[in-house]
Every structure is written in C-alpha cells, then in structure tokens.
Amino acid sequence: WQSGRIMTSLAITLSFKGSTSRVLVVGSELAGVLEAHAQAAFGLKDQASLKLILKGKKLKLAEPLDAQGVHDGAKVMVMASSTAAVADVQQGRAGPTVRSF
C-alpha cells in the first residue's frame, strides 16, 4: 500500500528498432523509469534524446505511468536521436524571421 492505494506491478514491453524488452514497473512510478530501462536494455546511454510513445502519444517523463494510461501488457515504442543528428537538424534550420518561397 502506498497512500491508501495498492501498488500494482505492470509488465511493459519496450520496442526499439525491431527488438523488444519486457520490464516490470510499478504503476505509480514516473515514466522516467521506463526511459532508464530503455537506455539499459538497448544500450542507448550516449543518445541525446529519447521519446517513449504509447498509442501515438509521447509519455511525459515527470508524470506517473498510471496517470498517462499505461496498463499491464502495454507496448511502448522507443525512439532515439543521437547527439550528432540533433545538432545537424538544429544547424540546418532557418531563423524564425526567414521566409521561404
């Protein structure tokens, strides 16, 4: 029990580039816990940006899993961007006042 609630364990499947990993988490934990599991399971320590996607929506890392609709047996897609790729995109963007034709 935690604050009058039963702590339920959720079996979540993380998916990244065709490979999957099953993890057990508590529903009241923050979504950042899934990010840590994804980094460990798929070797993404050097990635600049990770996105966790459930049913087409990005999970907010600072919010509890159960408040975001994550349930037992859910499949969460992991998307990662490397530091170099993020820098290339940032560098290639035009300024906000530049208009194109």
The answer as to whether 29 is a domain residue is yes
| CATH code, 68 | 3.10.20.90
Report how many domains make up the chain. 1
**b/e per residue, 33-45, with b = 16+ CB within 10 A?**
bbbebbbebbebe
Identify whether 60 is part of a domain: yes
Residue 47 is assigned to a structural domain of this protein: yes
pTM: 0.75
Question: Is the pLDDT reported for residue 5 higher than 70?
Answer: no
Question: Within a domain: residue 43?
Answer: yes
Compute the distance between CA of residue 54 and CA of residue 52 in angstroms, rounded to an integer: 7
Name the residue range of residue 50's domain: 9-90
Query: pLDDT for 30-66, tens place per residue?
Result: 999 999 999 999 988 766 689 999 999 999 999 999 9
